[in-house]
Structure 1
Amino acid sequence: MITKSTATAEFHGGRSRVAALAWGQQATWDVMRGWPHEDRSFFTLTRWLPVPLLLGLGEVLEQISELVRRHESLRTLYHPTHRGEATQEVLASGAVTVEVFDRPAEDPVDFATIVNDCIARMKATGFDHDKELPVRFSVATHEGIPVLLMFGVSHLSADHMSTDLLSAELTALLKARADGTAAPAARQALQPVDLATMEHSPEGQLCNVEAMRYLRQQLDRLAPGLVPVRAVPSSPRFFRAELESDAIPVAVRAAARRYRSTTSVVLLSITTALVRCFCPGPVYPLDIMQSNRVAPELFATVSSLNQAVRTAVDLAAGSFGEVLCQSESVMAAARRHSRYDGRAAKEVVRTVASSRGTEFEPGFQFNDMWSTVAKSAAGPAGGLAELDRLTETTTFDWPQKTDSEGMAIFLDTRGTPERINLSLMADTALLPPEDIRAFLFAFERIAIVLATSDITFTQIEELFAEHRTHAGNRSGS
């Protein structure tokens, strides 16, 4: 029988500070406040990792303490103000409670079940940010010996890249302790309070002014009717499909080398080329999510840094090569204007919508997280035969259906260097289920073609139509 107990990981020696939220934190705070309380599991990011053999529970707790001490975002309370904003209070010392689940010998429960249960519990209850530190830890032990460590962190304190950084750092701390070597030094990075201070400086305000100028330029190009209604919507209205592929990573890296570009630009170019199949143009509205880690001092920052840049993307290119050139310019502009005051941006959108007499319709979002890990894979791409062989492991699923979303289309990429996960959430009034499925399978085939040769828009349209036909009546299953 699994037994549950609790332990305490104390932290000391940090700085105690109070400040306003940084822009990325403020954007997350605003979204969380408007999100249905019962569905806030989205805002808890979780990871799990093995514990090296021979470490005792006390030694594991010491490494948890060290991780929390290093990162101010993990020892921060968020206090709401009467104006609907929040302040962040960094604690100099304190403690986090760690749940411990011990499996005795001969118990039939496997550790995968324990991990899944722990992660589900972490996500089941939202953080009380005013009173609770924004991180939770659990340890699975076997006869008292630590085997696995799980943690969940609030999206207010970490984005997905931050969570990966925490996982890697905690793994390194545990390994050093097990090996009897010195703990790896903390990486130099801006803490959230320092970032908020910079954003409120004249330099930060100039950055915001330039971002608002760019936003107005893009809004001026977004006329009504750019996102058509093409079908009677399903019920629930929004479907999310996921395609996992071993072929796309190899193909996209090969295409990026052929075109002397980046994987993110190639992924955006394929997306734009497919949008031409169902949007009339001349542009389509796209929010490009940016990780905001282009400055060295932000590479290792643990905070909620992601912000989306609203963009009017042209659909009038004459060739796929022109789409690639356009995507490079679009991504560069998005990087330049990706840090801004989200509330100021909302006011700009409200003012422009009021002046033109119509609200802006929900657009698309492109969030490429896979390219942040893509560079760690090496080796030349295989030929078409090898890429076709890799498609034998491609999987497809419908993991979510919901009645309401804030965008017409969300396209996310994530995964490992060897395997990509393409996630497409779409309004079925724009993309019926068979079109959602066709979009993802055509995406894979386009990437494969680009690995070794150019592609025409006619070929892309034919691939999209071909996969719509293949979907048939299976699309909504």
Structure 2
Amino acid sequence: MITIHTADVEFYGGRARTAPLTWGQEAIWEVLHDGDVARTYAVLTRWMPIPLLLSVGDVLQIIGELLRRHEGLRTRYHPTASGDATQEVLGSGSLPVEMHDRPVDDPTEYSTIVTDYLVRAASAGFDHAEELPIRFSVTLQDGIPILLAFAVSHLAADFVSAELLVADLAAMFRARADGKPVPPARRALQPADLALLESRPEGQLRNIEAARFIRRQLDRLGPDPLPARATPATPRFYRGRLESDAVAVAAGVAARRYRTTPSVFLLALTSALMRCVVPGPTYPIDLMQGNRTEPELTGMVANLSQSILTVIDLTAETFTELVGHCAAVVAEARTHGRHRKRMAHDMICRAGADRGCQFNDIWSQLPGRPTRPDATLRDLARLRASSTFDWPERVTDKNKDLFMGIHGAAERVQLSLFADTVLLPPGDIRAFLDTFERAAVVLAFEDVALDQVAAWFAESSSRYAQVDWTSG
């Protein structure tokens, strides 16, 4: 029988201080004003193995060292009278860790223990004024630590931050198992330091320059860039999801062919398909930026990704030209990605451009992505047979007309398209994703005309238009 108890991790030796929120944290805090999502919004979860040579005491000490290193993990967030918040960094304290001890003869799978904990930890959310924004669980076998899992609030970490925490923990576990000192903390700012920098004149200048960039984007946007194309379904917004081993291999290979990054290639392919959907010469799309181009921000936990409005020109005559244009847009967006969202949001809303589209490529940031195809186009195309499609969400409203997310594991991409069915009816959502995969595979080996991409989309759209997606 599995026994569950808690053990306290103590942390000490850190700085205690208060500060305003960073711009990235402020954007998340404003989302949390919705009482329905305030506790459960965007909780990231991870799990990892623990070297068998470590004791429970070793594991708890390493968790304590992690909390000491990263101020964002030992921070509480307090609302102010204006509706904003301050962050209170604790210099010392304790954190309860949930311990699940499974006897060797218990039939329960380790994956079940970890999954149940992560689902529970994420669904419980966080009381940010009273709790630290991270929870840990250790799975043991007869008292021996086997697995570590954690859930962390989006106020304290984004996707990259969660991977940094896994890397930190793995390095410290390995060093302790090898009988060596834990490696030093990487050089990075803390959230309170970044908030201070953002409040200085150079931070305000960054905001002004971002505002100028966004105004230039708005000036390039024509009237009604995303007009209705169909009668809405009920509910109105559908999310289609296609999981593909083929795209995981093709993206890096195609990016090298076009001398660009996988993320730019994926954005260009998204834009090639948007040419099939929108009538105008441009379309608006928010690009999610990691904001880690400066050395002191690269390894910073609680340096949160932010999106920024861009406008992409669809008048390119070739895919190569479209890739070049997207690369230029991404480079400029990266320069202005860290800005005060509140300023940008007000400006965009006044221009009536607050919905639009969003592109969020998390997958390209994953380590260990495949870099070479299986040898031939035929081999790579064969991988498409393992692709799967489903409808994970259908909702009545969404804050964007179209959201393209690229997630998944290093060797299996998850293409997620959330769209207003007035813009893309369900059959076209499926056609968009199928054509995305088909084009990615071919582009890894040869050029494809933009008109050919459009023809593939039209063919797929016609096929899926005959399917009743509302019943499945």
Interval of TM-score (by shorter of Structure 1 and Structure 2) = over 0.9
Looking at structure 1, the residues matched to 219 and 126 of structure 2 have their Cα atoms a distance apart, in angstroms, of 39
Aligned match of 2:421: 428
Q: Which residue of 2 aligns with 1:387?
A: 380
Q: C-alpha displacement at 1:453, in angstroms?
A: 1.3
Counterparts in 2 of 1:170-185, with a 5 A limit? 170-185=169-184
Question: What letter is aligned with 1:435?
Answer: D
Query: Which range moves more in the overlay, 23-32 or 243-252?
Result: 243-252
- For 1:14, give the aligned amino acid: G
Kept in 1: contact 2:248–2:370 (CA 8 A): no
**TM-score normalized with structure 2 length:** 0.96
Q: Structure 1: give runs of 5+ residues left out of the alignment.
A: 354-358
Which range moved further: 137-146 or 467-476?
Answer: 467-476
Question: Offset of 1:348 from its aligned partner?
Answer: 2.2
Q: Secondary structure at the match of 2:430?
A: helix
Following TM superposition, by how much is the alpha carbon of 1:44 offset from its aligned partner in structure 2, in angstroms?
0.8
What residue in structure 2 maps to residue 308 of structure 1? 307
**Distance 1:391-1:380 versus aligned 2 partners, 3 A rule:** closer
CA distance in 2, matches of 1:105, 1:212: 60
Once residues 227 and 117 of structure 2 are traced to their aligned partners in structure 1, the CA distance between those partners, rounded to angstroms, is 43
Distance of 1:322 and 1:274 partners within structure 2? 15
Equivalence for 1:233:
232
- Does the Cα contact within 8 Å between 2:228 and 2:422 map onto a contact in 1? yes
Q: 151-160 or 51-60: which moved more? A: 51-60
Amino acid paired to 1:207: R
SS in 2 for 1:388: helix
The residue type equivalent to 2:307 in the other structure is A
State the match for 2:105 in structure 1: 106
Does the 8 A contact of 1:374 with 1:417 survive in 2? yes
Instruction: Encode CA deviations 1:43-72: one digit per residue, 9 max, x unaligned.
Output: 211001111113221211111111111100
Q: Which residue of 1 aligns with 2:434?
A: 441
Find the residue that maps to 1:105 and give its secondary structure. coil
Would you say the 8 A contact 2:206–2:336 is kept in 1? yes
Matched residues in 1 for 2:234 and 2:19: separation? 45
Quote the Cα distance in structure 1 between the aligned partners of 2:335 and 2:54: 46
1:220 to partner: Cα distance: 2.4
Residue identity over aligned pairs, in percent, reads 51
1:374–1:416 CA contact under 8 A, matched in 2: no
Contact 1:18 1:87 in 2 (8 A): yes
The one-letter amino acid paired with 2:363 is: W
Distance in 1, Cα, partners of 2:354 & 2:179? 58
Segment of structure 1 superposing worse, 368-377 or 140-149: 368-377
What's the CA shift string for 1:388-437, capped at 9, x where partnerless?
Answer: 12212212222222222100111111233322111111111211111111
Give structure 2 stretches of 5+ with no counterpart.
none
Corresponding residue number in structure 1 for 2:366: 373
Residue deviations 1:152-186 (CA, integer Å, cap 9, x gap): 01000000110011012112212221221221221
Distance 2:374 2:250 in 1: 7
Distance in 2 (CA, whole Å) between partners of 1:361 and 1:37 is: 21
Question: Does the CA contact (< 8 Å) of 1:277 and 1:461 recur in 2?
Answer: yes
State the SS of the aligned residue for 2:139: strand
Distance 1:361 1:379 in 2: 40
**TM-score normalised by structure 1 residue count:** 0.95
Describe the SS at the equivalent of 2:100: strand
Deviations 1:306-356 (Å, cap 9, x if unpaired)?
111101211222222221111011101101111111122223234x43xxx
Matched with 1:158 is: 157
How far has the Cα of 1:474 moved from its partner?
6.1
Once the two structures are TM-superposed, the CA of residue 376 in structure 1 deviates from its matched residue by 5.2
The equivalent residue for 1:404 is 397
| Residues 17 and 89, structure 1, Cα contact 8 Å, conserved in 2 | yes
Q: Distance in 1 between matches of 2:225 and 2:372?
A: 41
- Contact map agreement 1:249 1:374 (CA 8 A) in 2: no
Distance 2:36 2:402 in 1: 20
Aligned residues: 470
Q: Secondary structure at the match of 1:473?
A: coil
SS in 1 for 2:467: helix
Over residues 123-171 of structure 1, what are the superposed CA-to-partner deviations in whole Å (9 max), with x where a residue is unaligned? 1122111111000011111222211111001000000110011012112
Match of 2:348 in 1: 349
Given that residues 21 and 87 in structure 2 are in contact (C-alpha distance below 8 angstroms), is that contact kept between their aligned partners in structure 1?
yes
Partner of residue 467, structure 2: 473
Q: 2:270 and 2:28 mapped to 1: Cα distance? A: 26
Name the residue aligned to 1:356: none
Residues in 1 aligned to 2:40 and 2:155: alpha-carbon distance in whole angstroms: 13
State the shift of 1:385 in Å: 1.2
Distance 1:379 1:35 in 2: 47
Q: CA RMSD in A?
A: 1.7
Q: How big is each residue's C-alpha offset from its partner over 1:254-286, in whole Å with a ceiling of 9 and x where there is no partner?
A: 221111111111111100010011111121110
Q: What letter corresponds to residue 365 of structure 1 in structure 2?
A: Q
| Kept in 1: contact 2:297–2:303 (CA 8 A) | no
Counterpart code for 2:365 = T
How far does residue 381 in structure 1 lie from its aligned partner after superposition? 6.1
Contact 2:373 2:380 in 1 (8 A): no
SS at the partner of 1:293?
coil
Contact 1:251/1:381 (<8 A) preserved:
no
